[in-house]
Structure 1
Amino acid sequence: MFTKGRLCRRQILAAGFALVTGMVVAQAPHQAEAADKLRVGFAPEPYPPFWSKDAAGTWTGFEVDLIAAIMKQMGRDYELVPIAWDGIIPALNENKIDVIFNSMGITPERQQAVDFSDKYYETAIVFVGPKSDKIDISKDGLKGKIVGVQTATAQQNWVQKNYGDVVEIKAYEQQDQVNADLAAGRIDLDLADSIALIQGFLTTAQGKDFEVKGDPIVDPTSGANIGAAVRKGDPLKDEISAAIKAIRADGVYKTINDKYFNFDIYGK
């Protein structure tokens, strides 16, 4: 499930208008005039239960609620800035946004480009395939298979490193495109975040004929720990980490967690 990588300061326009700078469209759910408002970058695509749009077109989900709680704890106003996933880290480093909150796994490669807060949840990655196909998740078992992943993600890097010599890897701009091609039979396996697949795709009508293949995968390169990304050296990293710790301690995190999950997504 990942690449998911992610110029000037934004100009403040009259309320009700959107700002377009290159590929970046800024939508402010809060008042757009605040000069010290944090610009929170996210990829504007469905990623339930973390990001979904309701009937009114408003973003909802675990990360949406968590961002609001963290910013409240920090005493900071903010706006959500939608950016294509594969450009989100460049947008951060080009000062188009201040922080990325978008289920971004902490990997050694990404840590060369950005700093991360402490984790705010953890997850494994899994292969999902048809129930009717008894696929063995080994090099021999996957030989010749087509594996779908979202581009610029830790999952893409992981499967390339571990199975790239035996499988065909097909990369997509958005995770729901991977799911759709799996359902249509155009790929053999979908590799993505375990929570998004198990509590998202597999619970839908589209995913009813599919199942997890093999065991969940967790290693340092699979992006198991999820954190907020900021520019190198930005003290915002420590401010966010302190806020995560505070809402874990006072029960706010648990309230949000229990709204979406029947287990502690934070992990150990």
Structure 2
Amino acid sequence: MKKMMIAASCALAMMASGVQADERDLRIAFDVPYEPFEYKDENGDLTGFEVDLAAAMCEEMQANCEFVIQAWDGMIPGLVARKFDLIMSSMSITEERAKRVLFSEPYYITPGGWFGPNDFDTDVTDMDAMKGKTVGVQRGTTMDTFVTEEMGNIVTIKRYTTADDMVLDLEGQRLDVVFVDYPVGEQTVLSKDGFKEVGESVKLGEGVAVAMRKRDKAVAEEVNAALRTIKEDGTYETIMKKYFTYDVKI
């Protein structure tokens, strides 16, 4: 594999201008932990579906990529402030975000999933039954938007910076149920005893894409070309099967 620089740290100071097509040093931001998409393994190394996909994309682009960790709340502000060049951290395409960033073609789509304790027997689509329940979501996600718009006047919404913190409150019975990316719930909730999927999954949005600054159109073209190539040559499929038992390709 061509040279990769992987760092789980804050990004270095950004260049004064935007990224040009012929520049091959790119910084890609991830929000960690968000298993199975991006997380640290038992050795403390950054790994996950999107991390592997980013590495394959960078190899195809012949780019030296530095992987940096950024809290979700600061993702778009950090991109705009040139702390990094790309966001590849399960960022769903939305109309509001598209006003601020340039999205690549979508590279995966997964539904939102409802998860709770085994004794949770409420129909999450029944607003009368859900009245007074406390629902956990990760702040600023499409799941947060969905619950806010559909149930904001019905349930108490608790927002979390990380999925791990949300699951801790679910285990501590401070939440009745959580609504998260299905693979995240599968990894962080269903892997624990005493919890189950409590409602049908819900497909949200147009899919997940790489986010870049509006001016970096040349880089977006390269990113799209690289993503298409690794889908066509089987690399995407190989990475996907490492983390999922179902198809997330879009």
TM-score range, shorter chain: 0.7 to 0.9
Alignment-derived partner of residue 180 in structure 1: 168
TM-score norm. by structure 1 comes to 0.82
The reply to whether residue 216 of structure 1 matches residue 204 of structure 2 is no
Alignment-derived partner of residue 39 in structure 2: 52
Contact persistence 2:142–2:204 (CA under 8 A):
no
Contact persistence 2:11–2:84 (CA under 8 A):
no
Q: In the alignment, residue 188 of structure 1 is paired with which amino acid?
A: D
The 5 Å alignment of 1:53-132 reads 53-132=40-119
2:179 to 167, 191, 198: 191
The reply to whether residue 239 of structure 1 matches residue 222 of structure 2 is yes
Report the aligned-residue RMSD: 2.0
Quote the offset at 1:156 in angstroms.
1.1
The 5 Å alignment of 1:132-143 reads 132-137=119-124, 138-143=126-131
- Aligned partners of 1:219, 1:82: CA distance in 2, in Å? 25
Write the deviation string for residues 71-92 of structure 1: whole angstroms up to 9, x where unpaired: 1111111101211110110010
- Aligned partners of 1:219, 1:26: CA distance in 2, in Å? 31
Write the deviation string for residues 69-113 of structure 1: whole angstroms up to 9, x where unpaired: 001111111101211110110010111110000011111111111
Q: Which has the higher strand share?
A: 1
Write the deviation string for residues 123-144 of structure 1: whole angstroms up to 9, x where unpaired: 1101111111201112112110
Count how many residue pairs are aligned between Structure 1 and Structure 2: 233
Q: In the alignment, residue 234 of structure 1 is paired with which amino acid?
A: D
- Aligned partners of 1:258, 1:157: CA distance in 2, in Å? 29
Identical aligned pairs, as a percentage?
Answer: 38
Contact persistence 2:133–2:155 (CA under 8 A):
yes
Q: Which ranges of structure 1 fall in alignment gaps of 5 or more residues?
A: 1-15, 28-34
TM-score norm. by structure 2 comes to 0.87
